[in-house]
Amino acid sequence: MQGNQARGAGRGAARASVLDWLLRLLAGVALVLATASAYSAPKNLLVLGDSLSAEYGLQRGTGWTGLLQQRLQQDKSELRVVNASISGDTTIGGRNRLPALMAQHEPEILVIELGANDALRGLPLKTSQDNLQAMIDLARQQKAKVLLIGMQIPPNYGPDYTRRFAAMYQDLAKANKVALVPFFFEGIAADLSLFQADRIHPNEQAQPRLLDNVWPHLKPLLGKK
- Under DSSP, the state recorded for 195 is B
pTM of the model: 0.82
- CA–CA separation, 196 vs 190, rounded Å? 13
Catalytic residue (choose from 77, 87, 130, 201): 201
Q: Is residue 17 helix, strand or coil?
A: helix
Catalytic residue check, 191: no
pLDDT of residue 37: 43
Domain identity same for 162 and 71? yes
Catalytic residue check, 137: no
Residue 44 neighbours by CB distance under 10 Å: 19
Backbone dihedral angles phi then psi of residue 148, each to the nearest 5 degrees: -100, 130
Domain identity same for 166 and 91? yes
CATH number where 85 lies: 3.40.50.1110
pLDDT of residue 154: 86
Backbone dihedral angles phi then psi of residue 149, each to the nearest 5 degrees: -100, 115
- CA–CA separation, 196 vs 18, rounded Å? 72
Domain identity same for 133 and 216? yes
Catalytic residue check, 193: no
Domain identity same for 30 and 54? no
Give the residue numbers spanning the domain of 191.
42-222
Under-50 pLDDT residues of the chain? 32, 34-38, 224-225
Domain identity same for 119 and 201? yes
Q: Is residue 66 helix, strand or coil?
A: helix
Amino acid of residue 89: D
pLDDT of residue 32: 47
Domain identity same for 9 and 87? no
pLDDT of residue 57: 98
Domain identity same for 81 and 130? yes
Q: Provide DSSP, 84-131.
A: ---TT--HHHHHHHHHHHHHHH--SEEEEE--HHHHHTT--HHHHHHH
Domain identity same for 8 and 111? no
Domain identity same for 81 and 9? no
- CA–CA separation, 46 vs 11, rounded Å? 59
Domain identity same for 134 and 173? yes
Q: Is residue 9 helix, strand or coil?
A: helix
Domain identity same for 132 and 55? yes
Catalytic residue (choose from 51, 53, 85, 128): 51
Number of domains in the chain: 2
Domain identity same for 64 and 150? yes
